[in-house]
Structure 1
Protein backbone atom coordinates (compact mmCIF):
# COMPACT_ATOMS: atom_id res chain seq x y z
CA UNK A 1 0.00 0.00 0.00
CA UNK A 2 1.39 3.36 -1.04
CA UNK A 3 0.58 5.25 2.16
CA UNK A 4 0.87 2.49 4.76
CA UNK A 5 0.91 4.03 8.26
CA UNK A 6 1.29 7.56 6.88
CA UNK A 7 -0.47 10.25 8.93
CA UNK A 8 -2.89 12.23 6.77
CA UNK A 9 -5.09 15.19 7.72
CA UNK A 10 -8.01 16.02 5.39
CA UNK A 11 -10.31 19.00 5.88
CA UNK A 12 -13.81 19.06 4.41
CA UNK A 13 -13.83 15.30 4.89
CA UNK A 14 -17.54 14.82 5.58
CA UNK A 15 -18.68 14.91 1.95
CA UNK A 16 -17.75 15.30 -1.71
CA UNK A 17 -14.11 15.50 -2.71
CA UNK A 18 -12.88 15.63 0.89
CA UNK A 19 -14.65 12.39 1.79
CA UNK A 20 -13.46 10.69 -1.40
CA UNK A 21 -9.90 11.78 -0.58
CA UNK A 22 -10.11 10.45 2.97
CA UNK A 23 -11.42 7.13 1.65
CA UNK A 24 -8.68 6.90 -0.98
CA UNK A 25 -5.87 7.46 1.53
CA UNK A 26 -7.41 4.97 3.96
CA UNK A 27 -7.60 2.34 1.21
CA UNK A 28 -3.87 2.83 0.70
CA UNK A 29 -3.13 2.15 4.37
CA UNK A 30 -2.96 5.68 5.80
CA UNK A 31 -4.15 6.76 9.22
CA UNK A 32 -6.57 9.52 8.24
CA UNK A 33 -7.80 12.40 10.37
CA UNK A 34 -10.98 13.55 8.65
CA UNK A 35 -11.95 17.05 9.76
CA UNK A 36 -15.19 18.86 9.06
CA UNK A 37 -17.58 21.32 10.72
CA UNK A 38 -20.47 18.92 10.05
CA UNK A 39 -20.33 16.62 13.07
CA UNK A 40 -23.35 14.60 11.91
CA UNK A 41 -21.85 13.69 8.55
CA UNK A 42 -18.50 13.00 10.18
CA UNK A 43 -20.08 10.50 12.54
CA UNK A 44 -21.93 8.79 9.71
CA UNK A 45 -19.47 8.83 6.82
CA UNK A 46 -15.91 9.38 8.04
CA UNK A 47 -16.35 7.06 11.01
CA UNK A 48 -17.25 4.31 8.53
CA UNK A 49 -13.90 4.65 6.73
CA UNK A 50 -11.29 2.14 7.99
CA UNK A 51 -8.35 3.82 9.75
CA UNK A 52 -10.16 7.19 9.71
CA UNK A 53 -10.73 9.35 12.77
CA UNK A 54 -13.48 12.00 12.70
CA UNK A 55 -12.35 15.45 13.84
CA UNK A 56 -15.15 18.01 14.36
CA UNK A 57 -13.47 21.26 13.35
CA UNK A 58 -14.23 24.76 12.11
CA UNK A 59 -11.10 25.59 10.15
CA UNK A 60 -11.95 29.29 10.40
CA UNK A 61 -11.17 29.03 14.13
CA UNK A 62 -7.37 29.24 14.61
CA UNK A 63 -7.48 28.03 18.22
CA UNK A 64 -9.46 24.95 17.20
CA UNK A 65 -7.00 24.24 14.39
CA UNK A 66 -4.05 24.48 16.78
CA UNK A 67 -5.78 22.11 19.18
CA UNK A 68 -6.52 19.54 16.45
CA UNK A 69 -2.91 19.44 15.27
CA UNK A 70 -1.74 19.41 18.87
CA UNK A 71 -3.55 16.10 19.32
CA UNK A 72 -1.69 14.65 16.33
CA UNK A 73 1.60 15.91 17.69
CA UNK A 74 0.99 14.33 21.10
CA UNK A 75 0.00 10.96 19.64
CA UNK A 76 2.28 10.64 16.61
CA UNK A 77 4.76 13.54 16.69
CA UNK A 78 4.58 13.90 12.91
CA UNK A 79 2.37 14.51 9.89
CA UNK A 80 2.92 13.23 6.35
CA UNK A 81 0.11 14.75 4.28
CA UNK A 82 -2.26 17.71 4.64
CA UNK A 83 -5.20 18.10 2.26
CA UNK A 84 -7.17 21.34 2.46
CA UNK A 85 -10.44 20.34 0.79
CA UNK A 86 -12.82 22.35 3.00
CA UNK A 87 -14.50 25.30 1.34
CA UNK A 88 -17.77 27.06 0.63
CA UNK A 89 -19.27 28.71 -2.45
CA UNK A 90 -21.37 31.12 -0.42
CA UNK A 91 -21.53 32.18 3.24
CA UNK A 92 -24.86 30.51 4.01
CA UNK A 93 -27.75 28.52 2.53
CA UNK A 94 -29.86 31.60 1.76
CA UNK A 95 -27.04 33.12 -0.30
CA UNK A 96 -26.56 29.82 -2.14
CA UNK A 97 -30.25 29.58 -2.99
CA UNK A 98 -30.28 33.17 -4.23
CA UNK A 99 -27.22 32.54 -6.41
CA UNK A 100 -28.81 29.39 -7.85
CA UNK A 101 -31.93 31.38 -8.66
CA UNK A 102 -29.99 34.16 -10.41
CA UNK A 103 -27.91 31.68 -12.39
CA UNK A 104 -30.98 29.82 -13.55
CA UNK A 105 -32.77 33.04 -14.55
CA UNK A 106 -29.75 34.01 -16.66
CA UNK A 107 -29.64 30.57 -18.22
CA UNK A 108 -33.34 30.70 -19.14
CA UNK A 109 -32.89 34.16 -20.69
CA UNK A 110 -30.04 32.92 -22.90
CA UNK A 111 -32.01 29.84 -23.82
CA UNK A 112 -34.92 32.06 -24.95
CA UNK A 113 -32.65 34.39 -26.90
CA UNK A 114 -32.94 37.25 -24.41
CA UNK A 115 -30.08 39.23 -22.93
CA UNK A 116 -29.63 38.17 -19.30
CA UNK A 117 -29.97 40.86 -16.64
CA UNK A 118 -26.42 41.94 -15.70
CA UNK A 119 -25.57 40.74 -12.17
CA UNK A 120 -24.92 43.27 -9.43
CA UNK A 121 -23.05 41.10 -6.97
CA UNK A 122 -20.78 43.80 -5.57
CA UNK A 123 -23.69 45.93 -4.42
CA UNK A 124 -25.31 42.96 -2.69
CA UNK A 125 -22.34 41.47 -0.81
CA UNK A 126 -22.19 42.44 2.86
CA UNK A 127 -18.92 42.77 4.77
CA UNK A 128 -19.96 39.83 6.95
CA UNK A 129 -20.62 37.57 3.96
CA UNK A 130 -17.33 38.44 2.28
CA UNK A 131 -15.44 37.92 5.52
CA UNK A 132 -17.06 34.54 6.21
CA UNK A 133 -16.09 33.03 2.85
CA UNK A 134 -12.55 34.42 3.02
CA UNK A 135 -12.16 33.05 6.55
CA UNK A 136 -13.10 29.51 5.49
CA UNK A 137 -11.56 29.34 2.01
CA UNK A 138 -8.32 31.27 2.60
CA UNK A 139 -7.68 31.75 6.30
CA UNK A 140 -8.54 28.09 6.92
CA UNK A 141 -5.74 26.71 4.71
CA UNK A 142 -3.36 29.29 6.18
CA UNK A 143 -4.20 28.12 9.70
CA UNK A 144 -3.76 24.44 8.85
CA UNK A 145 -0.50 24.93 6.94
CA UNK A 146 0.89 26.99 9.81
CA UNK A 147 0.00 24.20 12.23
CA UNK A 148 1.16 21.36 9.96
CA UNK A 149 4.54 22.74 8.87
CA UNK A 150 6.40 22.11 12.15
CA UNK A 151 5.16 18.50 12.26
CA UNK A 152 6.26 17.91 8.66
CA UNK A 153 9.65 19.52 9.26
CA UNK A 154 10.17 17.22 12.23
CA UNK A 155 9.15 14.31 10.00
CA UNK A 156 11.76 15.17 7.37
CA UNK A 157 9.19 16.21 4.76
CA UNK A 158 5.62 15.92 3.62
CA UNK A 159 3.06 17.00 1.07
CA UNK A 160 0.33 19.64 1.17
CA UNK A 161 -2.50 19.83 -1.36
CA UNK A 162 -4.79 22.86 -1.34
CA UNK A 163 -8.15 22.94 -3.10
CA UNK A 164 -8.72 26.05 -5.20
CA UNK A 165 -11.20 26.25 -8.10
CA UNK A 166 -11.37 26.73 -11.84
CA UNK A 167 -13.15 30.00 -10.94
CA UNK A 168 -9.78 31.31 -9.71
CA UNK A 169 -8.24 30.81 -13.16
CA UNK A 170 -10.86 32.39 -15.42
CA UNK A 171 -13.31 35.29 -15.44
CA UNK A 172 -16.64 34.22 -13.95
CA UNK A 173 -19.60 36.45 -13.07
CA UNK A 174 -20.33 35.35 -9.51
CA UNK A 175 -20.08 36.80 -5.99
CA UNK A 176 -16.52 38.05 -5.66
CA UNK A 177 -15.79 36.36 -2.36
CA UNK A 178 -15.50 32.95 -4.02
CA UNK A 179 -13.02 33.57 -6.88
CA UNK A 180 -11.10 36.02 -4.68
CA UNK A 181 -10.69 33.47 -1.91
CA UNK A 182 -9.76 30.67 -4.29
CA UNK A 183 -7.24 32.86 -6.12
CA UNK A 184 -5.75 33.65 -2.73
CA UNK A 185 -5.27 29.92 -2.18
CA UNK A 186 -3.06 29.80 -5.28
CA UNK A 187 -0.86 32.60 -3.96
CA UNK A 188 -0.67 30.88 -0.58
CA UNK A 189 0.30 27.63 -2.32
CA UNK A 190 3.13 29.18 -4.32
CA UNK A 191 4.60 31.02 -1.33
CA UNK A 192 4.43 27.93 0.87
CA UNK A 193 6.02 25.85 -1.90
CA UNK A 194 9.06 28.13 -2.01
CA UNK A 195 9.38 28.52 1.74
CA UNK A 196 8.96 24.84 2.61
CA UNK A 197 10.92 23.22 -0.24
CA UNK A 198 14.22 23.24 1.73
CA UNK A 199 12.46 21.06 4.31
CA UNK A 200 11.36 18.50 1.68
CA UNK A 201 7.75 19.67 1.94
CA UNK A 202 5.92 19.95 -1.37
CA UNK A 203 2.88 22.20 -1.76
CA UNK A 204 0.50 22.04 -4.73
CA UNK A 205 -3.04 23.11 -5.59
CA UNK A 206 -6.03 21.65 -7.40
CA UNK A 207 -8.48 23.87 -9.28
CA UNK A 208 -11.45 21.59 -10.04
CA UNK A 209 -14.29 22.40 -12.39
CA UNK A 210 -17.62 20.56 -12.35
CA UNK A 211 -17.49 17.73 -9.82
CA UNK A 212 -20.52 15.64 -8.86
CA UNK A 213 -20.74 16.62 -5.19
CA UNK A 214 -23.79 17.30 -2.99
CA UNK A 215 -23.19 21.03 -3.45
CA UNK A 216 -23.09 20.66 -7.25
CA UNK A 217 -26.38 18.79 -7.17
CA UNK A 218 -28.09 21.66 -5.32
CA UNK A 219 -28.09 23.59 -8.60
CA UNK A 220 -30.73 22.99 -11.29
CA UNK A 221 -29.66 19.96 -13.39
CA UNK A 222 -30.42 21.74 -16.66
CA UNK A 223 -28.14 24.62 -15.67
CA UNK A 224 -25.40 22.17 -14.68
CA UNK A 225 -25.72 20.48 -18.08
CA UNK A 226 -25.28 23.90 -19.69
CA UNK A 227 -22.06 24.49 -17.73
CA UNK A 228 -20.71 21.04 -18.54
CA UNK A 229 -21.50 21.70 -22.20
CA UNK A 230 -18.74 24.36 -22.21
CA UNK A 231 -16.12 21.71 -21.44
CA UNK A 232 -14.38 19.59 -24.07
CA UNK A 233 -15.04 16.57 -21.81
CA UNK A 234 -18.78 16.95 -21.41
CA UNK A 235 -19.46 15.39 -18.05
CA UNK A 236 -18.84 16.15 -14.42
CA UNK A 237 -16.03 14.42 -12.57
CA UNK A 238 -16.64 11.87 -9.85
CA UNK A 239 -15.09 12.91 -6.52
CA UNK A 240 -12.95 9.76 -6.64
CA UNK A 241 -11.29 10.98 -9.85
CA UNK A 242 -10.14 14.13 -8.10
CA UNK A 243 -9.03 12.09 -5.08
CA UNK A 244 -6.71 10.04 -7.32
CA UNK A 245 -5.00 13.26 -8.39
CA UNK A 246 -4.53 14.19 -4.73
CA UNK A 247 -2.86 10.83 -4.06
CA UNK A 248 -0.59 11.35 -7.06
CA UNK A 249 0.56 14.73 -5.74
CA UNK A 250 1.03 13.37 -2.23
CA UNK A 251 2.98 10.27 -3.24
CA UNK A 252 6.30 9.34 -4.76
CA UNK A 253 4.91 9.69 -8.29
CA UNK A 254 4.46 13.41 -7.67
CA UNK A 255 7.80 13.94 -5.95
CA UNK A 256 9.01 16.54 -8.48
CA UNK A 257 5.89 18.70 -8.30
CA UNK A 258 5.67 21.76 -6.10
CA UNK A 259 4.00 25.15 -6.45
CA UNK A 260 1.83 23.77 -9.24
CA UNK A 261 -1.87 24.20 -9.97
CA UNK A 262 -3.55 21.24 -11.63
CA UNK A 263 -7.08 21.79 -12.92
CA UNK A 264 -9.26 18.67 -13.20
CA UNK A 265 -11.94 20.52 -15.15
CA UNK A 266 -12.65 18.48 -18.26
CA UNK A 267 -10.63 20.94 -20.32
CA UNK A 268 -12.55 24.02 -19.14
CA UNK A 269 -9.18 25.38 -18.04
CA UNK A 270 -6.16 24.66 -20.22
CA UNK A 271 -2.68 25.79 -19.24
Structure 2
Protein backbone atom coordinates (compact mmCIF):
# COMPACT_ATOMS: atom_id res chain seq x y z
CA UNK A 1 0.00 0.00 0.00
CA UNK A 2 1.33 3.40 -1.04
CA UNK A 3 0.88 5.16 2.29
CA UNK A 4 1.39 2.30 4.72
CA UNK A 5 2.33 3.81 8.09
CA UNK A 6 2.03 7.39 6.84
CA UNK A 7 0.61 9.89 9.35
CA UNK A 8 -2.01 12.10 7.70
CA UNK A 9 -4.07 14.99 9.09
CA UNK A 10 -7.22 15.94 7.13
CA UNK A 11 -9.52 18.84 8.02
CA UNK A 12 -13.16 18.79 6.93
CA UNK A 13 -13.02 15.01 7.22
CA UNK A 14 -16.66 14.39 8.13
CA UNK A 15 -18.10 14.81 4.65
CA UNK A 16 -17.52 15.70 1.01
CA UNK A 17 -14.02 15.95 -0.39
CA UNK A 18 -12.40 15.82 3.04
CA UNK A 19 -14.08 12.51 3.85
CA UNK A 20 -13.25 11.09 0.41
CA UNK A 21 -9.61 12.09 0.92
CA UNK A 22 -9.51 10.46 4.35
CA UNK A 23 -11.04 7.29 2.91
CA UNK A 24 -8.50 7.18 0.09
CA UNK A 25 -5.54 7.53 2.45
CA UNK A 26 -6.98 4.91 4.82
CA UNK A 27 -7.37 2.42 1.97
CA UNK A 28 -3.68 2.91 1.23
CA UNK A 29 -2.65 2.11 4.81
CA UNK A 30 -2.30 5.56 6.36
CA UNK A 31 -3.10 6.54 9.92
CA UNK A 32 -5.60 9.35 9.37
CA UNK A 33 -6.43 12.08 11.87
CA UNK A 34 -9.74 13.56 10.78
CA UNK A 35 -10.65 17.00 12.07
CA UNK A 36 -14.09 18.52 11.67
CA UNK A 37 -16.29 20.93 13.60
CA UNK A 38 -19.04 18.29 13.51
CA UNK A 39 -18.37 15.60 16.10
CA UNK A 40 -21.53 13.80 14.99
CA UNK A 41 -20.33 13.82 11.40
CA UNK A 42 -16.98 12.31 12.33
CA UNK A 43 -18.76 9.58 14.31
CA UNK A 44 -20.37 8.13 11.15
CA UNK A 45 -18.42 7.33 7.97
CA UNK A 46 -15.03 8.63 9.08
CA UNK A 47 -15.03 6.66 12.32
CA UNK A 48 -15.47 3.43 10.34
CA UNK A 49 -12.12 3.79 8.59
CA UNK A 50 -9.18 1.60 9.54
CA UNK A 51 -6.59 3.75 11.32
CA UNK A 52 -9.00 6.64 11.86
CA UNK A 53 -8.43 9.18 14.64
CA UNK A 54 -11.46 11.52 14.89
CA UNK A 55 -10.75 15.00 16.26
CA UNK A 56 -13.74 17.33 16.74
CA UNK A 57 -12.15 20.71 16.01
CA UNK A 58 -12.95 24.27 14.99
CA UNK A 59 -9.91 25.22 12.92
CA UNK A 60 -10.71 28.90 13.45
CA UNK A 61 -9.65 28.38 17.09
CA UNK A 62 -5.85 28.57 17.04
CA UNK A 63 -5.37 27.15 20.54
CA UNK A 64 -7.61 24.18 19.77
CA UNK A 65 -5.55 23.54 16.63
CA UNK A 66 -2.33 23.62 18.65
CA UNK A 67 -3.82 21.07 21.06
CA UNK A 68 -4.86 18.77 18.20
CA UNK A 69 -1.36 18.72 16.74
CA UNK A 70 0.10 18.23 20.20
CA UNK A 71 -1.93 15.01 20.29
CA UNK A 72 -0.41 13.91 16.98
CA UNK A 73 3.05 14.70 18.34
CA UNK A 74 2.43 12.77 21.55
CA UNK A 75 1.14 9.71 19.69
CA UNK A 76 3.49 9.62 16.70
CA UNK A 77 6.17 12.31 17.03
CA UNK A 78 5.82 13.33 13.40
CA UNK A 79 3.42 14.14 10.55
CA UNK A 80 3.77 13.23 6.87
CA UNK A 81 0.79 14.83 5.14
CA UNK A 82 -1.57 17.73 5.94
CA UNK A 83 -4.73 18.23 3.88
CA UNK A 84 -6.73 21.40 4.46
CA UNK A 85 -10.14 20.47 3.06
CA UNK A 86 -12.31 22.32 5.61
CA UNK A 87 -14.06 25.43 4.37
CA UNK A 88 -17.34 27.29 4.07
CA UNK A 89 -18.88 29.30 1.26
CA UNK A 90 -21.17 31.27 3.57
CA UNK A 91 -21.00 32.19 7.26
CA UNK A 92 -24.53 31.02 8.13
CA UNK A 93 -27.49 29.13 6.74
CA UNK A 94 -29.31 32.41 6.17
CA UNK A 95 -26.39 33.74 4.12
CA UNK A 96 -26.22 30.50 2.14
CA UNK A 97 -29.94 30.59 1.43
CA UNK A 98 -29.63 34.18 0.24
CA UNK A 99 -26.71 33.26 -2.04
CA UNK A 100 -28.61 30.34 -3.55
CA UNK A 101 -31.64 32.56 -4.16
CA UNK A 102 -29.51 35.22 -5.86
CA UNK A 103 -27.85 32.59 -8.02
CA UNK A 104 -31.16 31.11 -9.03
CA UNK A 105 -32.64 34.52 -9.87
CA UNK A 106 -29.61 35.23 -12.03
CA UNK A 107 -30.05 31.91 -13.78
CA UNK A 108 -33.75 32.63 -14.45
CA UNK A 109 -32.91 36.08 -15.81
CA UNK A 110 -30.33 34.64 -18.19
CA UNK A 111 -32.76 31.93 -19.27
CA UNK A 112 -35.44 34.54 -19.98
CA UNK A 113 -33.05 36.96 -21.69
CA UNK A 114 -33.43 39.80 -19.20
CA UNK A 115 -30.78 41.62 -17.14
CA UNK A 116 -29.96 40.72 -13.57
CA UNK A 117 -27.56 42.69 -11.39
CA UNK A 118 -26.76 40.94 -8.10
CA UNK A 119 -25.66 43.20 -5.28
CA UNK A 120 -23.43 41.62 -2.65
CA UNK A 121 -20.68 44.00 -1.56
CA UNK A 122 -22.70 46.64 0.23
CA UNK A 123 -24.67 44.05 2.20
CA UNK A 124 -21.76 42.05 3.66
CA UNK A 125 -21.31 42.61 7.39
CA UNK A 126 -17.97 42.69 9.18
CA UNK A 127 -18.95 39.60 11.14
CA UNK A 128 -19.81 37.61 8.01
CA UNK A 129 -16.57 38.57 6.26
CA UNK A 130 -14.51 37.79 9.36
CA UNK A 131 -16.14 34.41 9.95
CA UNK A 132 -15.46 33.08 6.44
CA UNK A 133 -11.85 34.27 6.46
CA UNK A 134 -11.29 32.80 9.92
CA UNK A 135 -12.24 29.37 8.59
CA UNK A 136 -11.01 29.38 4.98
CA UNK A 137 -7.78 31.34 5.47
CA UNK A 138 -6.92 31.62 9.15
CA UNK A 139 -7.91 28.00 9.74
CA UNK A 140 -5.47 26.80 7.09
CA UNK A 141 -2.77 29.05 8.51
CA UNK A 142 -3.37 27.65 12.00
CA UNK A 143 -3.00 24.06 10.82
CA UNK A 144 0.05 24.75 8.65
CA UNK A 145 1.79 26.60 11.47
CA UNK A 146 1.21 23.70 13.86
CA UNK A 147 2.05 21.03 11.28
CA UNK A 148 5.39 22.43 10.09
CA UNK A 149 7.52 21.32 13.08
CA UNK A 150 6.11 17.79 12.79
CA UNK A 151 6.66 17.68 9.02
CA UNK A 152 10.24 18.86 9.51
CA UNK A 153 10.74 16.17 12.13
CA UNK A 154 9.58 13.58 9.59
CA UNK A 155 12.25 14.80 7.18
CA UNK A 156 9.75 16.19 4.70
CA UNK A 157 6.19 15.75 3.60
CA UNK A 158 3.31 17.31 1.74
CA UNK A 159 0.62 19.93 2.36
CA UNK A 160 -2.44 20.20 0.10
CA UNK A 161 -4.78 23.17 0.51
CA UNK A 162 -8.31 23.25 -0.91
CA UNK A 163 -9.00 26.54 -2.65
CA UNK A 164 -11.72 26.99 -5.29
CA UNK A 165 -12.17 27.77 -8.96
CA UNK A 166 -13.85 30.96 -7.68
CA UNK A 167 -10.36 32.13 -6.67
CA UNK A 168 -9.21 31.97 -10.30
CA UNK A 169 -12.18 33.60 -12.04
CA UNK A 170 -14.20 36.78 -11.80
CA UNK A 171 -17.56 35.71 -10.38
CA UNK A 172 -20.27 37.89 -8.83
CA UNK A 173 -20.80 36.35 -5.40
CA UNK A 174 -20.28 37.36 -1.75
CA UNK A 175 -16.71 38.64 -1.72
CA UNK A 176 -15.64 36.80 1.40
CA UNK A 177 -15.51 33.46 -0.44
CA UNK A 178 -13.31 34.24 -3.47
CA UNK A 179 -11.21 36.60 -1.32
CA UNK A 180 -10.51 33.89 1.25
CA UNK A 181 -9.80 31.23 -1.37
CA UNK A 182 -7.51 33.51 -3.41
CA UNK A 183 -5.61 34.45 -0.24
CA UNK A 184 -5.15 30.75 0.44
CA UNK A 185 -3.32 30.45 -2.87
CA UNK A 186 -0.93 33.17 -1.75
CA UNK A 187 -0.35 31.31 1.51
CA UNK A 188 0.27 28.13 -0.50
CA UNK A 189 2.95 29.73 -2.67
CA UNK A 190 4.71 31.39 0.25
CA UNK A 191 4.78 28.17 2.25
CA UNK A 192 6.03 26.25 -0.81
CA UNK A 193 8.97 28.64 -1.22
CA UNK A 194 9.84 28.67 2.49
CA UNK A 195 9.50 24.96 3.14
CA UNK A 196 11.11 23.48 0.01
CA UNK A 197 14.58 23.32 1.63
CA UNK A 198 13.08 21.04 4.28
CA UNK A 199 11.63 18.61 1.76
CA UNK A 200 8.08 19.84 2.36
CA UNK A 201 5.96 20.39 -0.75
CA UNK A 202 2.89 22.65 -0.67
CA UNK A 203 0.24 22.65 -3.40
CA UNK A 204 -3.38 23.68 -3.83
CA UNK A 205 -6.54 22.39 -5.47
CA UNK A 206 -9.14 24.73 -6.95
CA UNK A 207 -12.16 22.49 -7.61
CA UNK A 208 -15.20 23.44 -9.62
CA UNK A 209 -18.48 21.50 -9.57
CA UNK A 210 -17.99 18.56 -7.21
CA UNK A 211 -20.94 16.44 -6.10
CA UNK A 212 -20.85 17.15 -2.36
CA UNK A 213 -23.71 17.68 0.10
CA UNK A 214 -22.93 21.42 0.15
CA UNK A 215 -23.04 21.67 -3.64
CA UNK A 216 -26.33 19.79 -3.74
CA UNK A 217 -27.99 22.44 -1.59
CA UNK A 218 -28.51 24.44 -4.79
CA UNK A 219 -31.50 23.94 -7.06
CA UNK A 220 -31.08 21.02 -9.53
CA UNK A 221 -31.83 23.21 -12.53
CA UNK A 222 -29.19 25.73 -11.42
CA UNK A 223 -26.66 22.92 -10.91
CA UNK A 224 -27.35 21.73 -14.47
CA UNK A 225 -26.72 25.27 -15.68
CA UNK A 226 -23.37 25.45 -13.86
CA UNK A 227 -22.25 22.09 -15.20
CA UNK A 228 -23.31 23.18 -18.67
CA UNK A 229 -20.69 25.94 -18.57
CA UNK A 230 -17.91 23.33 -18.40
CA UNK A 231 -16.39 21.51 -21.38
CA UNK A 232 -16.76 18.28 -19.37
CA UNK A 233 -20.47 18.43 -18.65
CA UNK A 234 -20.78 16.58 -15.38
CA UNK A 235 -19.88 17.04 -11.76
CA UNK A 236 -16.78 15.41 -10.31
CA UNK A 237 -17.11 12.85 -7.56
CA UNK A 238 -15.28 13.61 -4.30
CA UNK A 239 -13.28 10.42 -4.91
CA UNK A 240 -11.90 11.84 -8.17
CA UNK A 241 -10.59 14.89 -6.34
CA UNK A 242 -9.18 12.68 -3.57
CA UNK A 243 -7.09 10.80 -6.13
CA UNK A 244 -5.42 14.08 -7.08
CA UNK A 245 -4.63 14.72 -3.42
CA UNK A 246 -2.94 11.33 -3.15
CA UNK A 247 -0.95 12.06 -6.30
CA UNK A 248 0.33 15.31 -4.81
CA UNK A 249 1.09 13.71 -1.45
CA UNK A 250 2.90 10.69 -2.87
CA UNK A 251 6.06 9.96 -4.79
CA UNK A 252 4.29 10.57 -8.11
CA UNK A 253 3.97 14.27 -7.22
CA UNK A 254 7.48 14.66 -5.83
CA UNK A 255 8.50 17.45 -8.25
CA UNK A 256 5.43 19.64 -7.74
CA UNK A 257 5.31 22.50 -5.27
CA UNK A 258 3.61 25.89 -5.22
CA UNK A 259 1.16 24.71 -7.88
CA UNK A 260 -2.62 25.08 -8.20
CA UNK A 261 -4.48 22.18 -9.79
CA UNK A 262 -8.07 22.88 -10.86
CA UNK A 263 -10.31 19.80 -11.15
CA UNK A 264 -13.11 21.80 -12.73
CA UNK A 265 -14.07 19.97 -15.92
CA UNK A 266 -12.24 22.59 -17.98
CA UNK A 267 -14.06 25.55 -16.40
CA UNK A 268 -10.60 26.86 -15.49
CA UNK A 269 -7.86 26.39 -18.08
CA UNK A 270 -4.29 27.53 -17.47
TM-score, normalised to structure 2, is 0.99
TM-score, normalised to structure 1, is 0.99
Give matches, 1:48-87, under 5 Å.
Answer: 48-87=48-87
What's 2:244 paired with? 245
Establish whether residue 189 from structure 1 lines up as the match of residue 188 from structure 2. yes
Other structure's SS at 1:13 match? coil
State how many pairs are aligned.
270
Other structure's SS at 1:44 match? coil
What's 2:114 paired with? 114
What's 2:12 paired with? 12
Give matches, 1:150-161, under 5 Å.
Answer: 150-161=149-160
Deviations 1:163-216 (A, max 9, x none): 000000010000000000000010000000000000000000000000000000
Q: Distance in 2 between matches of 1:36 and 1:108?
A: 36
Give matches, 1:115-194, under 5 Å.
Answer: 115-116=115-116, 118-194=117-193
Q: What is the Cα-based RMSD across aligned positions, in Å?
A: 0.5
Q: Distance in 1 between matches of 2:123 and 2:113?
A: 27
Deviations 1:206-259 (A, max 9, x none): 000000000000000100110110100000000000000000000000000000
The structural deviation recorded for 1:112 is: 1.2
Give matches, 1:215-230, under 5 Å.
Answer: 215-230=214-229
What's 1:96 paired with? 96
What's 1:236 paired with? 235
Establish whether residue 260 from structure 1 lines up as the match of residue 259 from structure 2. yes
Q: Distance in 1 between matches of 2:154 and 2:107?
A: 51
Other structure's SS at 2:43 match? helix
The structural deviation recorded for 1:50 is: 1.4
Other structure's SS at 2:82 match? strand
Establish whether residue 199 from structure 1 lines up as the match of residue 198 from structure 2. yes
The structural deviation recorded for 1:119 is: 1.4
The structural deviation recorded for 1:270 is: 0.4
The structural deviation recorded for 1:52 is: 0.9
Gaps of 5+ in 1: none
Q: Distance in 1 between matches of 2:74 and 2:46?
A: 22
Deviations 1:97-129 (A, max 9, x none): 11101110111111111111x111111100000
Q: Distance in 2 between matches of 1:211 and 1:202?
A: 25
The answer to whether the 8 A contact 2:17-2:242 is kept is yes
The answer to whether the 8 A contact 2:106-2:118 is kept is no
